[in-house]
């Protein structure tokens, strides 16, 4: 009876388990980390640096250290805008929670799979639509000649178009 002994070394056998694990980890985490660095972290750092710079006569950046921008943030005008934005965000969040959870529960409990899938497709369509197209669609819908004002005037509820664009309702 003879025994066969392998004479290959670690260099010939390929990477070790730890090296393969590191390679797999980098191949999973690396691309998304590079993407986040390039398109989120670096631009955020640039904006942060620019926030300390001074504006020139024609709006260009002057490379002088300046805290005036941060002093203006606490101006009542900007605080009012910030407060209104926070209130709108909270209101929007509450409305979404109020309507979306019961609707999601209803969809999850539907017995007819075909109808459930059709409703899910209708829910997903807005996510596939470009933001710019949706913005222009809302401008048409909420405009003075839009379908909402047209229907309300046809029903005799209003006699002249309601200004809905550029209002808190539209936001």
pLDDT in tens, 115-144: 999 999 999 888 887 877 888 888 888 888
pLDDT tens for 93-115 read 999 999 999 999 999 999 999 99
Task: For residue 134, give the H/E element and its range.
Answer: helix 131-142
Phi-psi region of 110 (alpha: psi -120 to 50; beta: other; left: phi over 0): beta
Confidence of residue 73 (pLDDT cuts 50, 70, 90): confident
Question: Mean pLDDT across the chain, nearest whole number?
Answer: 87
With 80 as the cut, is the pLDDT of residue 150 above it?
Answer: yes
With 80 as the cut, is the pLDDT of residue 2 above it?
Answer: no
Whether the Cβ atoms of residue 124 and residue 107 lie closer than 8 Å to each other: no
Helices (H), 4-112: 10-13, 17-36, 42-50, 68-73, 76-108
Q: Which residue has the tokens 């660095």?
A: 37
Check residue 39 and give its pLDDT.
94
Confidence of residue 55 (pLDDT cuts 50, 70, 90): confident
| Rounded Cα–Cα distance for residues 123 and 115 (Å) | 12
Kindly list the domain boundaries of the chain, sorted by start residue.
Answer: 17-67, 74-128, 130-171
Check residue 5 and give its pLDDT.
61
Q: Which residue has the tokens 């997903």?
A: 124
| Rounded Cα–Cα distance for residues 34 and 93 (Å) | 32
pTM, full prediction: 0.52
Angle between helices 76-108 and 113-128 (to 10 degrees): 160
* 62 beta partners: 54
Check residue 136 and give its pLDDT.
86
- Taking residues 11-38, report their average pLDDT: 84
Whether the Cβ atoms of residue 35 and residue 43 lie closer than 8 Å to each other: no
């Amino acid at each position: 009876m003879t025994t066969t002994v392998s004479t290959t070394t670690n260099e010939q056998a390929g990477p070790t388990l730890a090296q393969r694990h590191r390679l797999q980890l980098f191949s999973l985490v690396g691309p998304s980390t590079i993407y986040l660095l390039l398109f989120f972290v670096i631009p955020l750092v640039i904006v942060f640096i620019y926030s300390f710079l001074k504006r020139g006569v024609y709006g260009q950046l002057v490379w002088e250290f300046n805290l005036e921008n941060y002093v203006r943030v606490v101006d009542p005008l900007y605080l009012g805008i910030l407060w209104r934005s926070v209130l709108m965000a909270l209101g929007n969040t509450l409305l979404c929670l109020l309507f979306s959870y019961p609707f999601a529960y209803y969809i999850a409990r539907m017995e007819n799979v075909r109808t459930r899938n059709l409703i899910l497709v209708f829910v997903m369509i807005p996510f596939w639509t470009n933001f710019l197209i949706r913005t222009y669609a809302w401008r048409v819908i909420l405009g003075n000649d839009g379908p909402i004002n047209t229907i309300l005037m046809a029903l005799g509820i209003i006699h002249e178009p309601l200004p809905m664009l550029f209002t808190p309702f539209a936001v």
